[in-house]
Structure 1
Amino acid sequence: MARELLIMGRTRNLRDVESNKEENSSTWRDWAFVLLWSVVGYTCIILTVLTYFNPGLIPFDVSSLLFRKEFSPFFAFSQGTGQYTKPQGFKIVALVPFHYHERTAILDCYLQQNLAQNHGFLDQVVFVPQTEDAISMEWLYSIVNQTPEYTIAPPGHDMEWQIARENVMYIRIDGDTVFLEDNAIPTIIKTKLENPNSLMVSANVVNEAALASLHSHPGVALPYLPELYHVEQPSRSKSQLKNDWRPSSLPHWQGPPSFKVTKGFKPPFEGHRWLLLNGASSDRDPIAASVYTDTGPTLDDWTVGAQQHYSFLHHLEDNDLGHYKFPMWVDPTERISKNFGCFWGNDAIAVRHIFNHHSNHTSSRYRSDGNRPHVIIDGKGLVSHYSARQGAAGLDTTDLVCRYRAYAQENVCRQTE
């Protein structure tokens, strides 16, 4: 009688040929399985290395799958969804209310990048002066004289709505806009054309109007606090510090454990920076204090704006702006930002009415075809607007303008001989 062994919970005859074949087959399957996963593993490693040196090879970051890096599925058209060429048959004009040359000098780099002659979408840029400052106006005339596509409209508030012409698509870009994502303009234009019943399509403007609460969520807004005294960095020269926009070059915040930003907080000194708190913020930073305490600032306070801007630069350096993205928000109940939006010249008066009355409600306004127009925020096109509501007592006492300028000079401004 043949010997029997108990293997894997069943008896098997060692002289049984079919049983032995089954064992051999199972062994080959195991080896094939190991080989398959080895190929998959090595392929992932190769793709990670290749995309590190050439991120454009695939439409998403492979390393984010391996290292849990955050990324957003809501990309602008050219990030994984193909190119979108400039639409033909009508002009695309940027209307730029002009206030301060220091900030518009940053915007100028982005406008130049988006001109049609530079493979962008803008056929013309019209500056609408809203200042009488001689130095700022002299600067404006100098850049207009250098760029044929630039022109200056008659000065005056709300003048940009009055000069709008029918069958022209306008992008209203406030002169204090200090960052445009590469595809912000094409993205909102594409959304506007795909939604012909929309009155206006706004970009995703950081910390503006209806988006202030959304951009204040933990993980988006990071625990930055104002430095209370000068922190020396002897290992870097003043020139390096001046031209470096990266928050990672800054030290961590130092100060009393009991310190928190309260309502009415005054700037510590001119040109101060905001530094990342090492650890959880609790209710110490402005945004947390505004949400969780009664003594904190409102979301319109300059301290909240400073924290938002430093958080944005932090995400920009880490290449994870996906924190801010969402697909599309139709008819938000709160007002939308008027600082970056796309509309037809035919609708200029209706758009101005919405902004002047601080309301998005268009229920009483119908087009000639009987359809009610919508107001849309496109969450895929990201923009940062510098808003110093408190003047010299607010954001102007930080170094944020210098940081945005340094980023633009490094990554956006066209180099001239």
Structure 2
Amino acid sequence: MTGVSRRGIPQKALRVGIVLVLLFFLGRQLDQRQATYLAPDSNAGIIAKPAGIVVIGLVFYGRRDRASSMFCYLQRNMVGNGGWPDEVIWFDDSAIPLLVSRKISHPNDFVVSANIINNPPLGFLHFHMGALHPYLPETRQPSAAPTSWKSSEHGFWQGDRDFSLGLHLSPPYQGHRWLRVEDERIMTQTPASELRYEVWGDSYASWTAAAQMHYSLLENIEKDTLDLYRFNPPWLMHGERIRINFMCVYGDDILDNEIESWPRDRGDEDMLVLDLPAKLHRLRGSATAVVDGPVVKIPTTGRK
């Protein structure tokens, strides 16, 4: 790929990438027309795509089954074109424009991460920001249940006021629903209350916490309250680990650092969010977990 560097000098290509299960590269294009995107709230207005920038999506095949599931988003016609239903894998329409804009305006941030649902340690932060809501699994199987994804059409959870659910209980039955608890005080008795600021551990492995986070996302989509997830200002990782599920990087930051010589005992995540930011003295912006509101749900790779 040829083009200009991020400094405008005709050297290497301007290679800006977003790593999710996909990797997007940004480079110069001949067509100078601008594209615009609606920002996620009324205050942000319209996001204009920088003139002369093209976004190219590359697929990471470390886990082929996960990567292939994202192909539907490239086609913008999920089920009709062989993709997965959009309620299974979803991201906000403004996620990519805002992620790229943040990276371009803050080039010293080595990696910019999207605001990902069910992606430790972010779940702990979402809980304390009020983005998660009290949900519990229904205690008895109904003879018939609504099929809508909207929690408001399923009624409230019914059960003992003292009922509590930990991080590792077994499912009550196959195909059970999680229902909204009307009493907000029950939140302290739900799995989300046990989340910790950690990358691994129970916050990563718990299926019950994952279920509650996903049902909370559906509620926030229905009520148009995705702003509850927004980090303002951005959350700075300061050299701590965050997963490389949906990220934006400059390609030359990666390619100019001798990929072939990376230690065999260090994975790509180790290098991108820990080792290279430290080596290049760019810890402050390492994995800035985002930014002005793009919310993302992607397939998980753990027990969830």
- Which TM-score tier does this pair reach, normalised by the shorter chain? 0.5 to 0.7
Shift in CA distance, 215/325, structure 1 to aligned 2, threshold 3 Å: same
**Pick aligned residue for 1:323 from 228, 245, 270:** 228
Counterparts in 2 of 1:338 and 1:202: CA distance versus 1, 3 Å: same
Instruction: Say which structure, 1 or 2, has more relative contact order (CA 8 Å, 6+ apart).
Output: 2
Q: Specify the alignment match of 1:372 in structure 2.
A: 282
Residues in 2 aligned to 1:340 and 1:102: alpha-carbon distance in whole angstroms = 13
Shift, 1:251, TM fit: 2.0
* Partner deviation per Cα, 1:361-415 (whole Å, 9 max, x = no partner): 656422xxxx63632222321112342622xxxx5xxxxxxxxxxxxxxxxxxxx
Contact 1:252–1:277 (8 Å) recurs in 2:
yes
1:42-101 deviation line (CA, Å, top 9, x unaligned): xxxxxxxxxxxxxxxxxxxxxxxxxxxxxxxxx947744343333344542223346586
Q: Contact between 1:210 and 1:332, CA under 8 Å: does it hold in 2?
A: no
How big is each residue's C-alpha offset from its partner over 1:253-295, in whole Å with a ceiling of 9 and x where there is no partner? 123444321343111222211111231215421122457xxxx
Q: 1:221 to 1:100 in 2, by over 3 A?
A: farther
Which among 53, 57, 61 is matched to residue 94 of structure 1?
57
Match of residue 185, structure 1, among 96, 105, 115: 96
C-alpha displacement at 1:203, in angstroms?
Answer: 0.9
The match for 2:242 is 336
Say if 1:202 and 1:341, in contact at 8 Å, map to a contact too.
Answer: yes
Task: Confirm or deny that 1:268 pairs with 2:172.
Answer: yes
Q: Which amino acid aligns with 2:282?
A: R
Cα RMSD of the aligned pairs, angstroms, is 3.7
1:355 and 2:269 matched: yes
Q: Distance in 2 between matches of 1:358 and 1:287?
A: 29
Distance 1:194 1:263, change over 3 A: closer
- Matched with 2:113 is 202
Which amino acid is the alignment partner of residue 279 of structure 2? R
- Is the 1:332–1:360 contact (alpha carbons within 8 Å) kept by the matching residues of 2? no
Q: Look up the match of 1:165.
A: none
Give the whole-Å Cα distance in 2 for the aligned partners of 1:269 and 1:283: 24
Task: Give matches, 1:36-55, under 5 Å.
Answer: none
Between Structure 1 and Structure 2, the one with more helix by share is 1
- Equivalent pairs counted in the alignment come to 244
Q: Contact 1:77 / 1:83 at 8 angstroms: preserved in 2?
A: no
Structure 1 residue corresponding to 2:202, chosen from 284, 295, 298: 298
CA contact (8 A) 2:129 2:229 kept: no
Specify the alignment match of 2:214 in structure 1.
309
**Aligned counterpart in structure 1 of residue 296 of structure 2, from 376, 383, 388:** 383
Q: CA separation in 1, counterparts of 2:40 and 2:161? A: 46
Alignment pair present for 1:346 and 2:258: no
Structure 2 residue corresponding to 1:248, chosen from 152, 176, 188 = 152
Contact 1:201–1:342, Cα closer than 8 Å, also in 2: yes
CA deviations on 1:182-204 (whole Å, 9 max, x unpaired) are 11001010111111222221111
Asked whether the 8 Å contact 1:77–1:187 carries over to 2, the reply is no
Give unmatched runs, 5+ long, in structure 1.
1-74, 115-138, 145-175, 235-240, 292-296, 396-417
AA of the residue aligned to 1:319:
D
Larger radius of gyration between Structure 1 and Structure 2:
1
Q: What percent of counterpart residues are identical?
A: 30
C-alpha spacing 1:177/1:185, structure 2 compared with 1 (3 Å): farther
How far is 1:323 from its partner?
0.7
The answer to whether the Cα contact below 8 Å between 1:78 and 1:84 also exists between their aligned partners in 2 is: no
| Alignment correspondent of 1:215 | 126
In the alignment, the residues of structure 2 paired with residue 377 and residue 341 of structure 1 have an alpha-carbon distance, to the nearest angstrom, of 9
Matches within 5 A, 1:45-194: 76=39, 79-97=42-60, 107-113=70-76, 178-194=89-105
Structure 1 residue corresponding to 2:189, chosen from 260, 284, 287? 284
Question: Match of 1:372, as an amino acid?
Answer: R
